[in-house]
Chains A and B, each alone.
Chain A
Amino acid sequence: MSLLEVDRINTLYGDSHVLFDLSIRVEEGEVVALLGRNGAGKTTTLRSIMGVLTPKSGEIRLGGKPISGLAPSAIANMGVQLVPEERAIFGGLTVEENLRVAALTAPNAWSFERIYGIFPRLKERRKSLGRTLSGGEQQMLSIARALIRDARIILLDEPFEGLAPLIVRDLVNVAAGLAREGRTMIVVEQNVAAALSFATRVYGLNNGHVVFEGTSAELTANPDLARDFLGVGA
């Protein structure tokens, strides 16, 4: 049994149908990348898993148990954690308060020290208000909030978007380290090279359908695939 099964879901944004019978699987300890053009349905897939959007039909199962239809807070407490595209840092709260809010309902919350071991920069800025952080620091904090909850599966939505190359490199190293430790993740990313550097398997999405499924190695060896199906360069 897979850790996460998305089984033929249809998700709508108001009247517009975004996901069509979309199915993906994620095994324990695996890192899966969702690739595709803008509007392909990648973010909608992550939001459907988190419960921010409720699929109109189909089912999402975590460890075999259906979770579609539950509130995001309930899904979060089963171990799913979305790191949203807009990062959604609480700007009026300090770095440490952001982490405390995240840890409140987590039974196996990490210590601050463990988080700071991964992101030393956050330790330096722990008393700073969220709104004063740089884009890279906000992204670190957003990922840190998922980690401190000891999430079983982390959904990273465009984690490298709009960040300087050096910061992207640091974050890729962090993600690769988490992947090596066996942390299950789904990553949505426009920066295909960065995503493939730590993802093991790939789903290609187009217009709300899965159009490609394979390993990262297959896609890297076959750059035409990515261009043809996804309109992205590997």
Chain B
Amino acid sequence: MMPSWPALASQAFNGLALGSLLALVSSGLTIILGTLGVLNFAHGALFAVGAYAAVVMLQYTQSFLLAIAVGCGFMLVLGFLLERFIIRLFYDRPDEDQILVTYGVGIVLVESVRAIFGGNAQRAPTPSWGQGATQLGFLIYPTYRLQLIAIIAMLLLGLYLVLYRTSMGLVVRAGIENPRMVGILGINLRRTFMLVFAIGIVAVGLAGMLYAPVVAVTPDMGANFMAQSFVVIVLGGLGSFPGAVVGGLIAGEIISLTSAFNSSYSEVMLYALMALLLVLRPQGLFGSEGRV
């Protein structure tokens, strides 16, 4: 059955919100993979940790921005600690070991959250400036979701500026392409690994914090996001930041628009698109051929 136009438009906006969130989650994942060579299976768990950080902070302060700022500081420290004491020990180990250890970290994080907060869903209040709905003329849409899209757009712009306008970003982009040549040019790439990892963790944590007021916050909330963000970085090209952004938006729209027709097919469509792209363009939309 054909859904109504307002319903479709509403789903298109949902797709934009989900897509921008996926873009933020995936850009952290893809930059960590491209630079450190580590596929971070704890990414979904860190999304949930971010959401719980927002829940906790919002119990202490009315200010959503303050809660987010403290939450980001927490994620940053968590990222530094994970890199320094766990991930760093695995750079020279085989891929399977890296997958196992990050997967293990993910389990420990999720179960720690469950042990502290229990398995019941928690709620984070919508910020005072994001209450209610906004009249868009053709559509009435929840205000906070519109703000969510705008906030994430600004965060992605910030990430773009770091990657494309700073020396550290220059080193990261060169390192994603050819880490050995970066070393031959006198740069100790590993010194930037801790910062890159922490930035990726803050990005996914922020996504969790911003999403918390929209959904039920549970320990397992990140699992689905992680699976989808793996699809996103394959779509966009492994290690490509523009690829993660565009791939995230495409994935968000496909999931949401398919749901307007039949929600049980939304994930199927996403994986079908990934399969098709892998046949036609195995390196992904923005990936260059031959890059590992």
Q: B187 at interface (Cβ–Cβ under 8 A)?
A: yes
- Our pick among B173, B180, B185, B188 for the contact of A102 (Cβ within 8 Å) is B185
The interface residues of chain A lying within 8 Å CB-to-CB of B288 are 91-92, 131
- Our pick among A52, A74, A76, A93 for the contact of B170 (Cβ within 8 Å) is A93
Question: Contact: A97 with B178, CB < 8 Å?
Answer: no
The interface residues of chain B lying within 8 Å CB-to-CB of A88 are 178, 180-181, 184
Question: Contact: B186 with A76, CB < 8 Å?
Answer: yes
Chain B: which residue is nearest A79 at the CB level?
Answer: B186
Chain B: which residue is nearest A103 at the CB level?
Answer: B185
Chain A: which residue is nearest B164 at the CB level?
Answer: A97
Question: Contact: B173 with A149, CB < 8 Å?
Answer: no
Given contacts A72-B180, A84-B181, A131-B288, are A90 and B174 in contact (CB under 8 A)?
yes
The interface residues of chain A lying within 8 Å CB-to-CB of B174 are 90, 93, 97-98, 101
Cα distance, A88 to B177, chains bound together (Å): 9
Cα distance, A92 to B186, chains bound together (Å): 20
Question: Contact: B173 with A104, CB < 8 Å?
Answer: no
Q: How many A residues face the partner with a CB closer than 8 A?
A: 27
Which A68-95 residues have C-beta < 8 A from chain B? 71-74, 76-77, 81-82, 84, 88, 90-93
The interface residues of chain A lying within 8 Å CB-to-CB of B170 are 93, 97, 100-101, 104
Cα distance, A50 to B185, chains bound together (Å): 10
Question: Contact: A76 with B177, CB < 8 Å?
Answer: no
Instruction: Give a binary string over A102-143; 1 marks a CB under 8 Å from any B CB, 0 the rest.
Output: 101110000000000000000000000001000000000000
- Our pick among A91, A104, A145 for the contact of B177 (Cβ within 8 Å) is A91
Cα distance, A84 to B182, chains bound together (Å): 12
Q: B183 at interface (Cβ–Cβ under 8 A)?
A: yes
Q: How many B residues face the partner with a CB closer than 8 A?
A: 18
Question: Contact: A101 with B171, CB < 8 Å?
Answer: yes
Given contacts A93-B170, A93-B174, A101-B174, are A73 and B181 in contact (CB under 8 A)?
no
By CB atoms of chain A within 10 A, which of B180, B185, B188, B189 has the most?
B185
- Our pick among A91, A92, A131, A149 for the contact of B185 (Cβ within 8 Å) is A149
Question: Contact: A92 with B180, CB < 8 Å?
Answer: no
Cα distance, A106 to B186, chains bound together (Å): 8
| Nearest CB in chain B: distance from A133 CB, A | 14
Question: Contact: B186 with A104, CB < 8 Å?
Answer: yes
Q: B61 at interface (Cβ–Cβ under 8 A)?
A: no
Cα distance, A102 to B170, chains bound together (Å): 11
The interface residues of chain B lying within 8 Å CB-to-CB of A106 are 186
Question: Contact: B171 with A76, CB < 8 Å?
Answer: no
Question: Contact: B184 with A82, CB < 8 Å?
Answer: yes
| Nearest CB in chain A: distance from B158 CB, A | 20
Which B167-223 residues have C-beta < 8 A from chain A? 167, 170-171, 173-174, 177-178, 180-189
| Nearest CB in chain B: distance from A107 CB, A | 10
Cα distance, A119 to B184, chains bound together (Å): 22
- Our pick among B167, B177, B183, B186 for the contact of A90 (Cβ within 8 Å) is B177
Question: Contact: B178 with A90, CB < 8 Å?
Answer: yes
Given contacts A90-B178, A101-B171, A104-B171, are A145 and B188 in contact (CB under 8 A)?
no
Given contacts A92-B288, A104-B167, are A149 and B177 in contact (CB under 8 A)?
no
The interface residues of chain A lying within 8 Å CB-to-CB of B188 are 71, 73-74
| Chain A to chain B contacts (Cβ below 8 Å), 8 pairs | A50-B184, A52-B184, A76-B183, A88-B178, A90-B174, A93-B174, A97-B170, A101-B187
Where the two chains meet, the residues of B that have a C-beta atom closer than 8 Å to any C-beta of A are 167, 170-171, 173-174, 177-178, 180-189, 288
Known: A76-B185, A91-B177, A105-B187. 10 other contacts (CB 8 A): A50-B184, A71-B183, A72-B183, A73-B184, A74-B188, A76-B184, A88-B184, A101-B182, A104-B170, A131-B288
Where the two chains meet, the residues of A that have a C-beta atom closer than 8 Å to any C-beta of B are 50, 52, 71-74, 76-77, 81-82, 84, 88, 90-93, 97-98, 100-102, 104-106, 131, 145, 149
